[in-house]
Amino acid sequence: MIREEPLVLGIETSCDETGVGIVRGHTLLADAIASSVEQHARFGGVVPEVASRAHLEAMGPTVERALNEAGVTFNDIDAFAVTAGPGLPGALMVGVAAAKAYALSLGKPLYGVNHLAAHVCVDQLEHGPLPKPCVAMLVSGGHSSLLLVPDVAGDVRSLGSTVDDAAGEAFDKVARVLGLGFPGGPVIDRMAREGDPAAIAFPRGKYKDGTYDFSFSGLKTAVARWVEAKERAGEAVPVPDVAASFQEAVVDVLTQKALKVCKDNGVHDLLIGGGVAANSRLRALAAERCEAAGVRLRVPRPKLCTDNGAMVAALGSELVASGLAPSDLELPADSSLPIETVTLR
């Protein structure tokens, strides 16, 4: 029998992080991560085959590390949760196959969950139950999404998304243009602190077009052309100013759109998640604008913003507590799983 506060082990392998988290209720007991980012750095981006092989090698040791960190054994686990999508197909299959094996061998229920909904749910581990409803803005290398969340366990609605490059993807591409390496988000964040965010007037795509959608491809191209023009003229590229001006353009649009969703839907709680939510300027501008608009802001600590197993375990725990039936052991990995599907049956 599953306890009132179940002990849930979550597995995340949607991209280049092998994450294993263990949660009891809303309490985080372990958050073990094995990253393959260094293996992808020389290619300037994530290579799916490299990611899949890295997950295979890291899965067993990362699970064992999480169990040791939490001070529990496999027999103590009440349920397993795993990211079933969206993500890289091969990477997802590694995690799903491992979770199935653990659940089947131990006779425990398995929940295949949505990666994006897990990014929303992880905030409960830090700030307690989510307000119902709340607005969630998820920004990462693969997603820029605005969601209305009446109930993270079963009612998540997409209101806006990116029409081209996601915010994190734009950070990576601009970092490459500036010769800053991969991944681009952290290094641009650091470099921007030394620059002037008003130095260059980069465009704000879809800034006030009346929609909740994002577009960062034009901004990325504008940065590349500006840098190329400087180089052709034989002038030094002011990297800190470019980084700061680019970053300001991104976070300006993100926060403006997020608050528009809150205002239009009469919601007074905004949650920001995903890897780009670790960006210091996004966190600062969101706090400033939310305070001015009377909106309560929730942002997990940076480590919980990036992909991790804790967020998967948190959503699994929420599903168990909500009394939802577990997934079938034949559940697939779905690389294009829509956000409205919180859990696969």
Binding residues for Fe cation: 115, 119, 307
Binding-site annotation, residues for substrate: 138-142, 172, 185, 189, 279
For the chain, the first-to-last Cα distance in angstroms comes to 20
Number of Cβ within a 10 Å radius of residue 264: 11
Degrees, nearest 5: CA angle 151-153-155: 45
Binding-site annotation, residues: 115, 119, 138-142, 172, 185, 189, 279, 307
β-bridge mates for residue 149, sequence order: 134
Residue 305, Cβ density class (10 Å: 0-12 exposed, 13-18 middle, ≥19 buried): buried
Q: Which residues contact 196 (CB under 8 A, 6 or more apart)?
A: 240, 241, 244, 245
Helix, strand, coil % in the chain, rounded to nearest 5? 45, 20, 35
CA distance 42 to 190: 21
